[in-house]
Structure 1
Amino acid sequence: MTVPELDLDVHLTAEDLAAALRADARRGLTATPKWLPPKYFYDARGSALFEEITRLREYYPTRAEREILAERAGAIARRTGAKVLVELGSGSSEKTRLLLDALREHGTLGSFVPLDVSGAALRDALAALRTDYPDLHLHGIVADFVNHLEVLPESGTRLVAFLGGTIGNLVPAERAAFLAGVRARLSPGEWLLIGADLVKNPAVLVPAYDDAAGVTAEFNRNVLHVLNRELHADFNPSLFAHVALWDPANEWIEMRLRATRPMTVHVADLGLDVSFAGGEELRTEVSAKFRPGRLANELAAAGFAVRDRWTDTLGRFSLTLAAAV
């Protein structure tokens, strides 16, 4: 049997990532209040910490989404008949194998297109997938799902998967632009599958981002290790406390790092001195939670119609299947 060729297109180089980090760090660290984008958690150490988080008792989203996929992947395959599965922010594509298996069993799937900012992670994932799916054409794309949607392949009936609740890391204006961008790349009748965490009791939500073992705290502080290494900053991460709180007005979790005393941090590569007051907070992540009507309305505004929606048995997480109209 001939092994299909494995393609890897690079639209985001190490130099691009370094330039984006410099620009984001300068904007965020000089803003009031200070902020950093959550994508900078995910170097090798941060990715390993996040994998550990997904196995924690308190962190339900990964288990809940996997439960839905295990139950509903067959229905998704039958409904969409997708020939091309595209995954945005693919990472290891572990849960996505449930979709791959269902679509392959349905007999329509010809290719899988994972897109991720990390070329190294993408190559590792593709190598594992090639072993397990030797008959599937694999086309990896190193790119940013926010800024590079135009690079998505155009052939075949496509199902775009955006899993893990990552949609919640975008604030409303960013979500609107993202969903409109995805819709612009799809033809009527093609598909978008979105995993979204649901609004629930803060007593369940907050511990998912502030576990008893402190793994999420280390994950949060990892962004400071990234700045130290990549921008030659001199943050002392141990002087920043992990904060996770529920914002009921915006219906999202915020993760922050709180300076435990006044300090000035030097970021050598930016020629920047950043002062923190004691107790001052640096926002590192927003994770929006959704009500069914809210997500359906946002999808409709972007040109999608919801065709199916499922939750796990405890009603904590949802998968929404929407068609481009």
Structure 2
Amino acid sequence: MVQPRSMLASTPVESLIPPHALASDKEDRPADLDDALQAGLLDQPAHIVPKYLYDTLGSSLFTAITQLPEYYPTRCEAEILQDHADEIARHVGQVQALIDLGAGDCDKAEKLFPLLRPESYVPIDISVDFLLAAVERLRHRHPSIRIHPVGQDFHQQALSLPEHIASRGRLFFYPGSSIGNLDPAQAQLLLSQVCSLCPGGGLLIGVDRVKSRDILEPAYDDALHLTAAFNLNLLRHVNLQLGSDFDVQDWKHVAVYDEAHSRIQMFLQAQADVVVNWPGGQRSFSRGERIHTENSYKYTPENFTQLLMSAGFTQIQHWTDSRGWFSVYSARSPESRH
């Protein structure tokens, strides 16, 4: 049941998040998550899933990265949303619930409030502490909007929404080209889930486009080394969760464009031979050996349109910035899917 707005004004924001999601960055990890971390570290080549980039510090660092001159996606997306606001609003239609995937500091969605006028806002993010701080700010600025934050890793588990969110008039908002962190098969699966959760509604999504290496690599390896700090902070987070003894000084950030697969790949590379220990295990890394931490796939407009269609979306329209570096897509979900 949707709570009355007068109740929301006095309800602690924490009570609106499912209890299982209220764990902080220092939570005790379930055994299966510890097993998955260890398996990734012991694999050949080693890898750590990118969700460990987003503890409270990591989320703050990423917000800072979006302000860097090299990191063009944020500015390109903002240009599109501003220059094509009226067309986007017409295509999107009436919005009852704005559902923000990977909400972070909620700033991008908040800028859409005057344009889309949602009755409720559902920010979803893996970094619960960071999300709580952002939602507390929004509650004071927008008391007329019902806010229902959700702590969830929707890349690793089926996307779910609070039961009291209206089933009609849902608009999923997935900005910043975060969809690129998934490989195309995973992206299609997530988009299919989204399509099934918004019958008669839609999706507004930012997508980074295929470009030259000269533009892409500096965006992920900036001169101030904020992206390096963001990537290296993952090791501190893993130490906290797994009890490992990574020393960030033993590692350096590496970002390369894999042109064959149209993706940026981020790694942490050992600067010397090193042994990493954790309760019940260890791994030796040779100098130059890498741990894969994140992909960021880039799409042509034709390829991403096809991906949306394969996920069940129709009435697909997209807009781009003045340089053609980035796209924002609006796509509709059919009233019913057979």
TM-score by length of 1: 0.92
The answer to whether structure 1 residue 96 and structure 2 residue 105 are counterparts is no
Kindly tell me: are residues 67 and 294 of structure 1, through their superposed partners in 2, closer, same or farther at Cα, counting changes over 3 Å?
Answer: same
* 247, 262, 265: which one aligns with 2:258: 247
The answer to whether structure 1 residue 83 and structure 2 residue 79 are counterparts is no
More deviation in 14-23 or 216-225?
A: 14-23
Paired residue secondary structure (2:245): coil
Paired residue secondary structure (2:261): coil
**Separation in structure 1 between the aligned mates of residue 175 and residue 147 of structure 2, nearest angstrom:** 19
**Separation in structure 2 between the aligned mates of residue 320 and residue 17 of structure 1, nearest angstrom:** 39
More deviation in 154-163 or 314-323?
A: 154-163
The code of the aligned residue for 1:228 comes to N
The answer to whether structure 1 residue 120 and structure 2 residue 141 are counterparts is no
The answer to whether structure 1 residue 34 and structure 2 residue 42 are counterparts is no
Q: How does 1:149-188 map to 2 (within 5 A)?
A: 149-151=159-161, 153-187=165-199
Q: How does 1:1-325 map to 2 (within 5 A)?
A: 3=6, 5=8, 8-10=16-18, 11-14=20-23, 18-19=29-30, 21-79=33-91, 80-104=93-117, 109-146=118-155, 147-151=157-161, 153-187=165-199, 189-268=200-279, 271-325=280-334
Alpha carbons 1:69, 1:98 under 8 Å: kept: no
Kindly tell me: are residues 56 and 17 of structure 1, through their superposed partners in 2, closer, same or farther at Cα, counting changes over 3 Å?
Answer: farther
**Separation in structure 1 between the aligned mates of residue 246 and residue 114 of structure 2, nearest angstrom:** 45
**Gapped runs of 5+ residues in structure 1?**
none
Paired residue secondary structure (1:150): coil
Alpha carbons 2:171, 2:198 under 8 Å: kept: no
More deviation in 206-215 or 303-312?
A: 303-312
- Count of residue pairs brought into register by the alignment: 318
Paired residue secondary structure (2:224): coil
Describe the superposition over 1:21-40 as per-residue Cα deviations: whole angstroms up to 9, x where unpaired. 42331121111111111111
**Separation in structure 1 between the aligned mates of residue 41 and residue 233 of structure 2, nearest angstrom:** 16
C-alpha RMSD of the superposition: 2.0
**Separation in structure 2 between the aligned mates of residue 78 and residue 3 of structure 1, nearest angstrom:** 31
Alpha carbons 1:246, 1:254 under 8 Å: kept: yes
Alpha carbons 1:253, 1:288 under 8 Å: kept: yes
**Gapped runs of 5+ residues in structure 2?**
none
**Cα displacement (A) at 1:73:** 3.3
Alpha carbons 2:305, 2:316 under 8 Å: kept: no
**Separation in structure 1 between the aligned mates of residue 7 and residue 158 of structure 2, nearest angstrom:** 25
Kindly tell me: are residues 18 and 69 of structure 1, through their superposed partners in 2, closer, same or farther at Cα, counting changes over 3 Å?
Answer: farther
Paired residue secondary structure (2:16): strand
**Separation in structure 2 between the aligned mates of residue 252 and residue 75 of structure 1, nearest angstrom:** 30
Q: Between the two proteins, what is the percent identity of the paired residues?
A: 39
